[in-house]
Chains A and B, each alone.
Chain A
Amino acid sequence: GNSVTQMEGPVTLSEEAFLTINCTYTATGYPSLFWYVQYPGEGLQLLLKATKADDKGSNKGFEATYRKETTSFHLEKGSVQVSDSAVYFCALNREGAQKLVFGQGTRLTINP
């Protein structure tokens, strides 16, 4: 079946550090891939997405590249800020399907 595996948290970094949160997936066909973010006290928000191999999604300084050969979609940011503290979820939806399959989430804390 379809599944998403994320780097386990929590992750704690200092401000301006480089961030990587690993995400790998298992799926048939060509899924679309997503990163969602959940800030404290708020609902899930789409951060970025990629719909085909080698696509790069980017938003708010975050990037992730759809790597079909390694079935990965790692989230990166060059210089994190305190305001990036949140829970990050990697997700996919299978080609032709609507429902999202989520990873377990990675809690990120950025210290000043």
Chain B
Amino acid sequence: GAGVSQSPRYKVAKRGQDVALRCDPISGHVSLFWYQQALGQGPEFLTYFQNEAQLDKSGLPSDRFFAERPEGSVSTLKIQRTQQEDSAVYLCASSLFSYEQYFGPGTRLTVT
């Protein structure tokens, strides 16, 4: 069956540009997570949705980052006025009821 998909897979942005990263979770999964993975590090939590409600956004590093999931399915992570320190792989994961999260392949963002 289809897993979690993310697009684009690679994104190069000039410093100061806005970017939008998309996540398509597994159909029927109520929970959706965004993580940021810097080079050589483990993923770090950004934000969590249950259906369309954003229940935890404690990991968003600044007010330039925001995420939405308006219909409780597809989610978009938007980064405004990108900075070099935003360069990372952005991972999306979804889950049904249990703690098991299924991860997408990630979007590698490079800010030049």
Contacts and interface: CB of A to CB of B under 8 A. Distances in A.
- Chains A and B belong together in one complex: yes
Interface of A: 4, 32, 34, 36, 42-46, 49, 51, 89, 91, 93, 98-105
Interface in B77-112: 91, 93, 95, 99-106
B65 interface: no
A82 to B, nearest CB: 23
Give the interface centre of B4, B40, B95, B101 by most chain A CB atoms within 10 Å.
B101
Interface of B: 3-4, 31, 33, 35, 40-45, 48, 55-56, 59, 91, 93, 95, 99-106
Give the interface centre of A42, A45, A91, A102 by most chain B CB atoms within 10 Å.
A102
B42 A105 contact: yes
Contacts of B35: 100
Contacts of A102: 42-44
A99 B41 contact: no
Nearest to A101: B45
Given A43-B103, A98-B33, A99-B33, A104 B45 contact: no
A98 B42 contact: no
Contacts of A4: 42
